[in-house]
């Protein structure tokens, strides 16, 4: 079941709109198979390039996706378990810059994504029915567990589109049209 509009903030509406499917678990599982294949098509030299008008290196985009998988999964867990502690936002640009202090090899970034996505899928697959509608405060706004599952999938789709724009040879694997620069 898709999240209702009052289950997430305007900021996340774009990500959720990228997931028209109602079976978000299936989308997350498909991405676990497809996304690492796409990322393995990126060379180390491509990973360090910045293609104007974008401001992040490809590696920073991939690190951002791993960070997002980790953070959104953590938020989903907290809210699903009934924790009502407000969960703060994070500065994605600060995180992207910090990831450059000791860049991980692409293989490690891919392995991190796969591990985190597997863990998030298992968490979501085993949620009790009542957990899906639980609400928490995320980045100052009410957010449901259901919305967070869709945000996980939509966040990947959003950035897959950006990667497709930046690296056209990935187009056979990318999920959607070109998105906003990052």
Q: What is the DSSP string of 55-83?
A: -S-HHHHHHHHHHHHHHHHHHHHHHHTT-
Q: What is the DSSP string of 136-165?
A: EEETTEEEEHHHHHHHHHHHHHHHHHHHHH
Distance CA 31, CA 153 (A): 8
Distance CA 75, CA 143 (A): 10
Query: What was the pLDDT predicted at 97?
Result: 84
The tokens describing 66, both together, are 């791993």
Query: What was the pLDDT predicted at 170?
Result: 82
The tokens describing 35, both together, are 């996304």
Residues whose CB falls within 8 Å of the CB of residue 74, separated by 6 or more in sequence, listed in order: none
Segments of the chain with pLDDT less than 70: 172-182
Neighbours of 6 (CB within 10 A): 9
Tokens 């994605």 — which residue?
A: 92
Domains and CATH numbers, the chain: 5-170 (1.20.120.450)
- Bridge partner residues of 143 (DSSP): 136
Reported in sequence order, the residue ranges of the chain that DSSP labels E, i.e. its strands, are: 135-138, 141-144
Q: How far apart are the first and last CA of the chain?
A: 30
Backbone angles phi, psi at 75, to 5 degrees: -60, -45
């Amino acid at each position: 079941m898709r999240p209702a509009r009052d289950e997430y903030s305007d900021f996340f509406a774009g990500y959720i709109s990228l997931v028209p499917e109602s079976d978000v678990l299936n989308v997350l599982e498909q991405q676990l198979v497809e996304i690492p294949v796409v990322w393995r098509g990126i060379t180390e030299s491509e990973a360090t390039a910045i293609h104007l008008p974008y401001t992040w290196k490809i590696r920073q985009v991939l690190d951002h996706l791993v960070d997002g998988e980790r953070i959104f999964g953590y938020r989903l867990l907290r809210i699903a378990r009934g924790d009502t502690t407000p969960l703060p936002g994070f500065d994605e640009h600060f995180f992207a810059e910090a990831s450059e202090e000791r860049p991980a090899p692409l293989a490690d970034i891919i392995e991190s994504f796969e591990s985190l996505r597997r863990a998030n899928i298992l968490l979501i697959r085993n949620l009790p029915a009542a957990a899906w509608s639980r609400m928490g405060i995320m980045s100052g706004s009410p957010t449901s567990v259901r919305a967070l599952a869709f945000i996980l999938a939509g966040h990947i789709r959003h950035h897959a589109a950006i990667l497709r724009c930046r690296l056209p040879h990935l187009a056979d694997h990318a999920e959607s049209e070109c998105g906003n620069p990052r």
